[in-house]
Amino acid sequence: MIAKYNTKKHYIDLVLLLEEHSSYDFYITENNTRVIVKDSASIKKLFENVTVAYVSESKPEIDGIMLVWQAMGGDVKRNYIKFNVLDEKVAENLINTLTQDYKGKLYIKIKKDSLYLKLFKDNDFRFCHDRGSELLLVKEKN
């Protein structure tokens, strides 16, 4: 089941997920350095700029999170998807919910060899820029 993230209900499960399953796709950027979100301190930093977050609940814990993280680069404000999931089905359910509910323009930086690249392309994310080993994809407003 997909639900909006609730700190009181999901925080401990989120910490457990990130401790057991850290992901290169779930990071924040500090001083031009990528910091993988995997503990309480980095979760707190991440959520300072989160506008919406969804979790996939599989009793008794969660098996994925997908959120929109707002980043400022110069004068440009962009909304990036960040995610950490245990499998492709969880990712598919989260991306479907997020893209149906979110009305703004979305970006994602994703590895060219990511298992999830096709999923984002199938959900109307289009090529924006090549970033070396990653692609920047964009989905226009709903």
pTM recorded for the entire structure: 0.91
Give the tens place of pLDDT for each residue, 36-70.
999 899 999 999 999 999 999 987 789 999 999 99
Q: Is the per-residue pLDDT at 74 higher than 90?
A: no
Mean per-residue pLDDT, 21-40: 87
Q: What kind of architecture, by CATH, is found in domain 2-139?
A: 3-Layer(aba) Sandwich (3.40)
Core vs surface per residue 78-109: b (16+ CB within 10 A) or e: ebbbbbbbbeeebbbbbbebbbeebeeebbbb
Domain boundaries, the chain: 2-139
